[in-house]
Amino acid sequence: MGQQGRGRTAVAVSVIGVICAVTVVGATAGPAFASPAPDPASTPFPYSSSSAPPGSASPPGSADGGTTSSPDTALEAVRAKLDALYHDAAVATDAYNAAEEKADKQSAAIGVLDRRIEAARVRLADLKDRAGAAARAQYRGGGLPPEARLMLSEDPGQFLDGAGLARQGEHAADGLLTELARTRRELKRDAEDAEDRWQKLEQGRKQKAAAKKRVERQIAAAKQLASRLEKKEKERLAELERAAAHRAQTAWLGSGVLDEIRGRASERGRKAVAFATAQLGKPYVWGAEGPASYDCSGLTSQAWAAAGVPVPRTSQEQWRQLPHVDIRDMRPGDLIIYFDDASHVGIYVGDGLVLHAPRPGRTVTTAGAGTMPILGVVRPDAK
């Protein structure tokens, strides 16, 4: 056996060991990509590990006419497993971000209710004091009927003047009691609302903690899996990733979709793209929304916030709430939502490229917009 043959055998043995470890990691593997072209290192499109080209073909033959080599087949299985782990981590990250956003809103609402409750308590105490004063004044009047007080009065005119004032006082007392009852009702309602929101806040905190554990578990499993690869295997894996991304982008461009995209960025869209571009090279950190690091939806939400347009925090809510546009009407600044579960998002920058925060271990970068399966396109400034 020659030197090259011995090297390939060593790689195969090492990767087969990783494949055995893959079955222990515990996440469902996603679809494997097709095997690479002969020279994948020359491909111009960067890869996102969450990529999965639509309609992947079966592995092409090797240079000598046989099937794909065993090491590459094994590495494809490793890459599919890594994709699945990071995809699950992205889904859990969206759940974490959604729970965090809900918790922030609940906390803000509770703060408003607390201030209203305190103001109602102060007003209620004041009303009680005023009602008590009115009751004491009535008691000091002796409780005699008006006819008796008129007969006993030494100055009937003065009595009649006082009777008018007394009627005004009675009306004021009625109003006082009505306001007192209304304030009590408002205080009771706000207190019940605050209690309900506290319960929802606690529920959201539990959801957030559970999502955090899922994210950390999936990322740890992915790192453990990658750590079992030798240096040459990691390099070859990177080549396979670039080749898969290149094939997916080529297929997407080959559909002619880019020929029909003529949209120009709006003023706010240009600002969003400029902000996102300024973040190139910053690390992906799940749950982060800048300024030092981002996850995918943290980047897109902050980019549009910088353009003066607030958008939902998560990619799933961006897909659900923002206006959808046909991909052929896409323009720079629009958000491209990826995967059937809307678990990834990037901002379209033109020329068939998307800018995004890929996944843990990567940095904010550009990639071919077609290197991942596109769910659809949304436009934050469509209104």
Which pLDDT tens digit goes with each residue over 46-86? 333 333 333 333 333 333 444 445 677 878 888 888 888 88
Structure confidence at residue 30 (pLDDT): 34
- 164 or 298, which is more confident: 298
- Distance, CA of 56 to chain centre: 29
Among 5-19, 57-71, 110-124, the range of highest mean pLDDT: 110-124
Q: Residue 40 falls within a domain, yes or no?
A: no
Query: DSSP letters along 274-319, please?
Result: HHHHHTTTPBB-TT-BSSS-B-HHHHHHHHHHHTT----SSHHHHH
Residue 87 designated active-site: no
Query: DSSP letters along 3-20, please?
Result: HHHHHHHHHHHHHHHHHH
C-alpha dihedral sign at 95, 100, 101, 103: positive
Q: Residue 307 falls within a domain, yes or no?
A: yes
CATH number at residue 333: 3.90.1720.10
Q: Are residues 274 and 366 located together in one domain of the fold?
A: yes
What is the average pLDDT value for the chain, to the nearest integer?
Answer: 75
Q: Round to whole Å and give the CA distance between 225 and 231.
A: 13
Structure confidence at residue 58 (pLDDT): 35
Question: Among residues 20, 246, 296, 324, which one is catalytic?
Answer: 296
Decide if 344 contacts 88 (C-beta within 8 A): no
Q: Indicate if the pLDDT at residue 12 is higher than 60.
A: no
Q: Are residues 202 and 294 located together in one domain of the fold?
A: no
Q: Indicate if the pLDDT at residue 27 is higher than 70.
A: no
In which domain, by residue range, is 320 found? 257-378
Q: Indicate if the pLDDT at residue 10 is higher than 50.
A: no
Q: What is the edge-to-edge ordering of all strands in the sheet holding 324-325?
A: 324-325, 374-378, 335-338, 344-350, 353-356, 365-368
| pLDDT above 70: percentage of residues in the chain | 68
Q: Are residues 187 and 265 located together in one domain of the fold?
A: no
Contacts of 172 by beta carbon, 8 Å cutoff, 6+ apart: 134
Structure confidence at residue 283 (pLDDT): 97
Q: How many CA atoms lie within 13 A of 115 on its CB side?
A: 5
Q: Are residues 191 and 140 located together in one domain of the fold?
A: yes
Q: Are residues 278 and 155 located together in one domain of the fold?
A: no
Q: CA nearest 300: which of 260, 324, 272? A: 272
Which pLDDT tens digit goes with each residue over 289-348? 999 999 999 999 999 999 999 999 999 999 999 999 999 899 999 999 999 999 999 999
Q: Indicate if the pLDDT at residue 125 is higher than 70.
A: yes
Domain boundary among 254, 288, 322: 254
Q: Tokens for 49, please give them.
A: 């590990």
CATH number at residue 93: 1.10.287
Q: Residue 15 falls within a domain, yes or no?
A: yes
Q: Residue 148 falls within a domain, yes or no?
A: yes
Structure confidence at residue 21 (pLDDT): 45
Residue 296 designated active-site: yes
| pLDDT above 90: percentage of residues in the chain | 32
Domain count, the chain: 2
Q: Are residues 286 and 223 located together in one domain of the fold?
A: no
Give the type of residue at 146: P
Q: Are residues 98 and 124 located together in one domain of the fold?
A: yes
Provide the β-strand partners of residue 367.
354
Q: Are residues 114 and 263 located together in one domain of the fold?
A: no
Domain boundary among 254, 287, 311: 254
Question: Among residues 87, 246, 324, 356, which one is catalytic?
Answer: 356
Q: Are residues 147 and 262 located together in one domain of the fold?
A: no
Looking up tokens 């799940």 gives 286
> Could you tell me the pLDDT band of residue 131, with boundaries at 50, 70 and 90?
low
Q: Residue 117 falls within a domain, yes or no?
A: yes
Q: Are residues 24 and 168 located together in one domain of the fold?
A: yes
- Distance, CA of 8 to chain centre: 44
Residue 20 designated active-site: no
Domain boundary among 254, 282, 305: 254
Three-class secondary structure of residue 347 per DSSP = strand
Q: Are residues 339 and 292 located together in one domain of the fold?
A: yes
Nearest 5°: phi and psi at 48? -105, 130
Q: Residue 5 falls within a domain, yes or no?
A: no
Is the pTM above the cut of 0.85?
A: no
Looking up tokens 């055995």 gives 20
Question: Among residues 20, 171, 324, 344, which one is catalytic?
Answer: 344
Q: Are residues 156 and 94 located together in one domain of the fold?
A: yes
Q: Residue 358 falls within a domain, yes or no?
A: yes
Provide the β-strand partners of residue 350.
353
Q: Residue 167 falls within a domain, yes or no?
A: yes
